[in-house]
Each structure stands twice: as structure tokens, then as C-alpha cells.
Amino acid sequence: MTTILAFIVAHMGFLWERARFQIVGSEVSEVNGGNAELLVASPTLRLRFLLDRDELYLDLQPAHVEGPREWYDVALVRRFVLGTDDPPAMLGPEDATFLRDRLAAVESAFAPGAWEETRSRLRALRKKRAAEQGR
């Protein structure tokens, strides 16, 4: 968990400006060398920070969806918003910069009125990326 918190403090303090996001859940495990998960949410968007075998990841989903939920990695969301072809990778400072600069656009895309179209496009991008990577 320390790795997740250190990354957030170093790169994503903007999440707490104007009380926009709050911590809504966490889990820590010592299995496989230690894993952790931290969930933060705004009224529109959930962020899941994952530490898996010393690798840090970030996934997003709409806050209004109940039941089984799909998560979308930050690289896929960046591809959706910016049109870039960045491959998925571990969470880095560039991802924090993307979210800082484009958080309003991401939240708009994940809002209830836009979500179904966004979801359809994210699923299509996920399939396209998998085909590009030969999966």
C-alpha cells in the first residue's frame, strides 16, 4: 500500500482538490510478495490503484454503475480521450499528468448520459488493442 500512497502523494494530489475524490476502499495482502488495492471515487468516477508484484496499475470505471463492473486501464482511457496508441503499461507520472489535464473530459465520458456510448467505444478499443498485440 505504501507504493500506491507514495505515487498518489508524488503525482496525484489534485484528486483531493475541492474534495473531489475520497478513499472508498482498500485491501492489502502478503500473497505473492504483497499486493494492494486502493479505491478512490468522485460522484462520477471510480479509480482503482493496484499494486501487483511490485507493479503499479490504474483502472477506471463509472461511479453510477452497480453490480458487476468493468474496469478500463488508464492507457485505454487515454487512447479513447486523446486518440493515442499507447500500449498498456505500469502506472507512471505521464498517466497522472493525463488525468490532471483531462479529468473533466474523462468524468464527462463516464457520466450517466454518456456512459453507454463511451463503454461501447472502450470495448471496441480494447478488442482492437488485443488484435494489435496478437491476443
Domain chopping of the chain, boundaries: 2-132
Residue of 43, 34, 39, 31 lying closest to 2 (CA atoms): 34
Summarised one tens digit per residue, pLDDT across range 76-85 is 999 999 998 7
Q: How far, in Å, are 3, 46, 51, 53, 80 from residue 126 at the CA level?
A: 27, 19, 22, 24, 10
Query: To the nearest whole number, what is the mean pLDDT of the chain?
Result: 92
| Per-residue model confidence as pLDDT tens digits over 17-41 | 999 999 999 999 887 777 999 999 9
pTM score: 0.91
pLDDT of the residue at 34: 77
**What pLDDT does residue 51 have?**
94
Highest mean pLDDT: which of 13-27, 58-72, 78-92?
A: 13-27
Q: Coil, strand or helix: which one is 21? A: coil
Q: Is residue 8 packed enough to be buried (19+ CB in 10 Å), middle (13-18) or exposed (0-12)?
A: buried
- Would you say residue 68 has pLDDT above 90? no
pLDDT at 67: 65
135 pLDDT band, cuts 50/70/90, is low
